[in-house]
Each structure stands twice: as C-alpha cells, then as structure tokens.
Structure 1
Amino acid sequence: MPAPLLEILPDKPALVQRALTLVVETIHSAVADHNYCALALAGGSTPKPLYAALAEQDLPWEKIYIFWGDERYVPIDHPDSNAGMAKAAWLDRVPIPPDHILVTPTLEGDPAASASLYEAMVKSVFGGLQGTSPDQVPAFDLILLGMGDDGHTASLFPHTEALGVSDHLIAVGNKGDDPRITFTAPLINQSRQVLFLVAGADKQAALAQVFAAEGDDHAYPSRLVRPQGELRWLLDRQAVGDLDLAAAPTS
C-alpha cells in the first residue's frame, strides 16, 4: 500500500487552489487513460470554493461522472444537501450531461432503501464504464473527503454500525438520530485516488489520532481510509498547528 502524501498549505485559499490543480490533473489524466473520469464529491464548507473554481475550468464535461461519498437525508433543495450545494456552486453552471450526475436518493422515506437504491445506481453506471459485475467493487478515479473534528469522514462516524459494513458499497451512517447515506470503507478503499481536504484549528486533536502509529480505527474512522491507489492529504496550517506528522503510518 502506497504511503500517504501530505501537503501543508499556509491557509484555506491555498489549500483550495492546490486541490483545484490536483482535481483538474486527475480529470484530464483519467480521460486520457480510459475515456471517462468518475468523481465522488464531499460535502461541507471546505470544498465549496473548490467546486466554484471548477465551474470556471475548461474540462471534458461530457466524460465526467459525478457521485457523492455521503449525503444527508434531506431533499436536494434543502440547505443541508451536499448535492444541492455542489449543483449550485458548480454542476448547474457547466454542461455535464444530466445523466452523468448521480444524486443520492433521499426521498424514499427509508434510509436503508435509499442506500440500496444508490448502490444499485453505482453498480449500474460502473457496469457500463468498467464492465464490472454486480459482485465487484468499482474503482473511482477520485474520491474527495473531508474530516470532522471527531475524526469522521464521509458519514462514517465513530463507533457506528456503518464502520463494520463490508458486504455493501453504500450504507446508512448515523450521526445520533440523524440518518445519512454513505460510501462504505471497502468502496472508498478501492479508489484510484483519495484526496482529503482538512482545514481549521478544530481538526488538530483528531489529526493527531488519525496519524498516530497506533490507534483505534472505530474511534477515529478516517484511519479506515487506506485506498489501493494514492492517498493524499491537503492540510492547512491551522489544522496542523504544532503537530509532527512526519511519523504518520504508511499502512
């Protein structure tokens, strides 16, 4: 397993600019290699300016497929919707074919049913793109992730049932009584590239645990992210503070 790549940027704008460069490079590289790019987006405030910047780029839009690594169980027009945020900041402003934007279903009234439906959607799209069979785990070109101050990523929260799911691509992730739809660790770890975007001083304590040589994966779920491909962390200086991450584990 490749060692994680860490970059410490001076501030959040610099982090966003670096992420923009990496995402654009990944899209062009993936399209050149296999004629499409499958991206899974993150929610939250950190990637929003990245999405706005991507809307200004000249990209092969017809070859890009968009998914979400997790979603709150709300309608797309709700202010907390990850898909709604990304569509307003980016996707509604560029000519991506509508059927290439795979929005997480959240209107069934049953989170487990929605998770199963989204898994079927993912399998169907990748069956066409990669020729994968229903029992194979598809490989995204890039999965964008954030990290909460409790060490969660996507909607994989500490000590929750979703952390142990290994027989599904998509599961229900619970934040207290708040159900969400989330990629599972096996799906994330099949990705060709995973890019964490982490900003803010409130992340320091969790980062220390995530990068500790020994630790509890279920207490700090970001530790579960160990992709077959490249794992890259973009951190702003506030998130790192005085932490010494040089001894970060490589597996």
Structure 2
Amino acid sequence: MTRMSHILIVDDDPHIRDLLAFALGKAGMSVAEASDGEDAQAAIARRMPDLMVLDINMPRLNGLDLCRMLRAEGGAGAALPILFLSSRDDEIDRIVGIEIGGDDYVVKPFSPREVVARVGAILKRGTRAAVGATTVTHNRLTLDTDGWEARWDEVPVALTATEFQLLLLFATSPAKVFSRDAIIDRLHGPGFAITDRTIDSHVRNLRGKFPGVDLVETRAGIGYRIGRCA
C-alpha cells in the first residue's frame, strides 16, 4: 500500500488553509495546519511533514525566517521541501525565497489546482531519485538516491529536495550541458512557469554548500553542467 504524503499548510488566513486542505486532501494527501511560523515549529516537532506549504507574510515568525531556521538547524528540516506562498508578485521575494532554500513559489491569489500540481511535482522529484536505490559517484562527490543523501569525501552535505535532484541531474550526465529550459522541464515538467533566475538561484545555493569546489560549471549562453568535483 502506498504511503499517503503528509503536507503541512502554514498560513495566517484560515480561509486559505481550508481551501488548500480541501484541495490537497482531495488529491489523496493528509494535511496538518499551522497559523504562523511558531505553530509550524510545534507541528513539525510532532510530525515531520513530507512537504510544507509556507506563507511568507505572517505576524509571528514569518515564512522566510522559519525557512532560514530549518535550513540552519540541519537534520530533517534542512531537506524538508518548501513551497512558498506570497501575496506579492515581486521577483525579489521570489529569488530570496529560493536562495534561502525554498523549492518553489506561488503568488496569491492562486488556483488550488496549481498548488496541488506544484506540490505533486516537488514530491515526485524525491520519488524519482529514490527509484532503483542507486549510488551516483563523480570524483569526490557521492549521491545516494536510496538514502537521499549527498556526500563530499564521505562527509554528508544537507541539500533540499530540489538541490539534490538538480545535482543528481548533472552528475548522471557529466558530459552534458543543460540549458535552463531543459533543467526546468526535468525538475518541474513542461509548462511550469519558472524563471531562469530561479534556476540560477538553485545553482548558486548548491555552490554555496560546497565552498571552494568546482561543483557546477557555467557555459556562457548555454547553461550548466557538473564540474570536475576534484
């Protein structure tokens, strides 16, 4: 029997929580709710979700600060997939959300179907990476797709779901240069409205987690590929 994905919805608007809880529940997912970042911390302590839908603007511990705390603490929270919600269609907010470790971003008002689709796409990344229980090695880099773990010289490096999948994409085709459009299609599926700058932010996050390492090579005007990792 397939395990039901557990989603934590964090938003100070009860109407939005109800709307998303209904849509996600109808899609076959279990749901927990929190009204702000502090309530979300308590909910995570009770049960680690498979993904968190997180509003940015909340009165107590906003979404950006909660994301920063989870990523800094390490452990399961460092890899928890996060879909940000925001009432502002501001590219700065969008890029900041991705740069601090968010996996995707939806602007209010939104279609519940779009949120469900994006949640499903993020969850599928983890499912695809886990299939086959294989290990991918590229010089000093090792990616364990069964344990969902990246290691550098056998030392674990905490990555988000999107960062892991992006690095896995590069490492499994080391000779290939991926355009930003190709990366978007591989990670999100065709038709998702993701900007090139979002991909650039994910790559920048990856590089920041492997300081001093030739991790990802930029081919000007073309895209990205795995570096030497030496």
Tell me the TM-score normalized by structure 2: 0.30
Structure having the higher helix fraction is: 2
